[in-house]
Structure formats: C-alpha cells, structure tokens
C-alpha cells in the first residue's frame, strides 16, 4: 500500500470527536517509527495506543526488519508468519492519517506521490496489531509495547 504516511494532525483529532492521545508522535511516519493507532477498548470505545510501524517477529535480528512488514496484504495476512497471529487473535486497529505516499511509475521512474482525500479530511486505514517484546531495547522501558501493520488489498490488473 504505502511507503510512509502522515498521521492525523492533533488539530484534526478533536474534529473527529476523539480525545487527544497522551503521547507525542511524528509528523511523517516511516517503518520503525512510533505512531498513533486506535484499538478497541472497554465498552466498544476506541483507545489511543502508541505502536511501532511494522511487525517485527521475535526472530528478527534488527528493528529494521519492520521495513519488510509494515504492509500486510489481505490475500495473505492469515497465512504469512509475520501477520497470522495478530489476524487469528482478531487484533484489529484503525490508523488515522491525513495522507499516505506511494511511488508512481508513470514516467518510468519512481516519483513520490501523495494520496489523500479530495476534501483533505483525515481518514483511517485498517491495520492489525500485536504485542512487541522490543528485545532491541529501542524504546522506553515503561511503555506498553505494541506494533502494527497496515492491511491492504492489492487490485490485480
């Protein structure tokens, strides 16, 4: 789906009737960044969580493995080792964003292209999430460790 994205802007969160997250987040998200996601909470309310962009399996040697696991294809999400546990456990999330970026090859070369709503309003993208051991000790010790991958459906032409 995307190479990276712009998370929802703090000013847009209020417009959606959501409370502000209790953490700061990046203005442009790349794999291995900590980003805001919404997961189901108590009484069917959504709760903000901070999560690593990309699912890093226990056996991965570096956190940069997230560059290979930030997009889960709907066609294979149930069977690929990096994604199947989160899918089987129904660990679904919404990722609020303002836009995402994909390469366009219309000129024969990869050109970074912004994709956003025509009215420039934020939107959400489906995701799966899982707990993350962070055996790399990449982030603060006292924080809840979650990770996520966007779920995309590839249209075959």
pLDDT of residue 40: 85
Q: Is the pLDDT of residue 125 over 80?
A: yes
**Greater confidence, 103 or 58?**
103
Contact 124/95 with Cβ under 8 angstroms?
A: yes
Q: What residue ranges define each of the domains in the chain, with the CATH number in brackets?
A: 4-152 (3.90.1680.10)
Computed over every residue of the chain, the mean pLDDT equals 87
pLDDT of residue 80: 93
For 33-52, what is each residue's pLDDT tens digit?
A: 999 999 987 666 889 999 99
Per-residue pLDDT, averaged over 97-124, amounts to 94
pLDDT of residue 77: 95
Confidence of residue 156 (pLDDT cuts 50, 70, 90): low
**Greater confidence, 1 or 37?**
37
Q: Is the pLDDT of residue 131 over 60?
A: yes
Confidence of residue 149 (pLDDT cuts 50, 70, 90): very high
pTM of the entire structure?
Answer: 0.87
Q: Which long-range contacts (CB under 8 A, 24 or more apart) does 105-114 make?
A: 112/3
> CA 102 from chain center: how many Å?
15
Name residues whose C-beta falls within 8 Å of residue 41's C-beta, 6 or more positions apart in sequence.
47
Specify the pairing of strand 111-115 against strand 92-104. antiparallel
- Which helix (H) or strand (E) covers residue 12, if one does? helix 10-15
């Amino acid at each position: 789906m995307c190479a990276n994205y712009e998370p929802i802007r703090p000013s847009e969160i209020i417009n959606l009737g959501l409370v502000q997250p209790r953490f700061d987040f990046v203005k442009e998200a790349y794999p291995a960044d900590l980003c805001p996601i919404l997961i189901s909470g108590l009484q069917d309310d959504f709760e903000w969580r901070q999560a690593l962009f990309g699912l890093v399996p226990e056996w991965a040697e570096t956190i940069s493995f997230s560059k290979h696991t930030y997009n889960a294809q709907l066609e294979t999400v149930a069977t690929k080792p990096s994604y199947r546990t989160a899918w089987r456990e129904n660990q679904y999330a919404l990722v609020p964003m303002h836009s995402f970026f994909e390469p366009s090859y219309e000129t024969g070369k990869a050109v970074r292209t912004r994709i956003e709503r025509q009215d420039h309003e934020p939107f959400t993208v489906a995701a799966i999430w899982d707990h993350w051991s962070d055996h790399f000790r990449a982030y603060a010790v006292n924080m809840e460790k979650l990770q996520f991958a966007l779920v995309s459906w590839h249209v075959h032409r």
